[in-house]
Amino acid sequence: MEVTLRRTAAVIARNDRFRPAAAALTAATNSRRFSLSSLTRPPPNYPGHVPLTGIEKAALAVGSGLMSLRDPRRGDLIAAFAEATATPYFIYRLRDAMLGSPTGRRILRDRPRITSTSLNLPRLRSLPANTVGRTYVAWLDREGVSPDTRAPVRYIDDEECAYVMQRYRECHDFYHALTGLPIVREGEVALKAFEFANTLLPMTGFSVFAAATLKKSERRRFADIYLPWAVRNGLRAKEVINVYWEERLDTDVDELRRELGVEPPPDLREIRRREREERRRRKEEEEAARARRAA
């Protein structure tokens, strides 16, 4: 806007009759710098909050959504898309689900954070096998991930709802451990389908479209096995956002699954391992057959 005003002043100044008006317009642009964002952007509501206008939020949703489909490994893009599309309804629905649960209300009151320090990962490694804590830390170690990598929420305006999104984000690895799904692309898409059926967050549903980028055998397996499992379990399970994971670390993981109504899916890593072995066996047989024909 400032550039436009300066250009207007220059055009006006070409006519001597309007030089006083041009001078006034130039002085106005020098004394006060206008911008659309400065007129419409509200102040931040919590530390780290980046308030966006409606247009900016729409642009963020479209841009981050398209780019995250192109590269599903970009966690920053997925996080931005999740926040841009969670309002005005979906994050409030999830917050209300927490308010409707005694445990969810305690989580909102206590506002715990999930980090390697708060969970004391060395202690979790000493827990008995098949406990929630031991299963969780074993999954972290096997997949080579850390709970300290979750990005802070920045684009949700309501401070309490921002915490709800942060809590969902930091609990994601517990959902992996609960289901046993690995962080390979196929496992992530299956877990996102489960999360969408359970939380209704648009980002999780949008992420399911990443199934189109899977290999043909993976797409078939997702459609035949993991999508039906995700829809069935996500809809019938209790709201997983209301699990106070920090208080359930000593619980038997099978007991928690029964309590929540979640059945573990077929072991994806084992299926992929068997398929690799079968491909290797067929290749060896074909090479042996060619060698016999050549002899």
CA gap 219, 137 in Å, rounded: 29
Q: Is 173 within any annotated ligand binding site? A: yes
**Please, are residues 147 and 114 in contact by the beta-carbon 8 Å criterion?**
yes
DSSP code string of 23-92:
HHHHHHHHH----HHHHHPPPPSSTT-----HHHHHHHHHHHHHHHHH-TT-HHHHHHHHHHHHTTTHHH
Confirm or deny that 49 is annotated as ligand binding: no
Show the tokens assigned to 1: 């806007």
In angstroms, the CA 162 to CA 176 distance is 22
Token pair belonging to 204: 């999780």
Amino acid letter, 143: E
Q: Mention every residue, 6+ apart, whose C-beta is less than 8 A from residue 36.
A: 1, 53
233 is written with which tokens?
């379990």
The answer to whether 198 and 239 have CB atoms below 8 angstroms apart is yes
Tell me the two tokens of residue 52.
């966006």
| Binding site, annotated residues | 172-173, 176, 188
| Binding site, annotated residues for Zn(2+) | 172-173, 176, 188
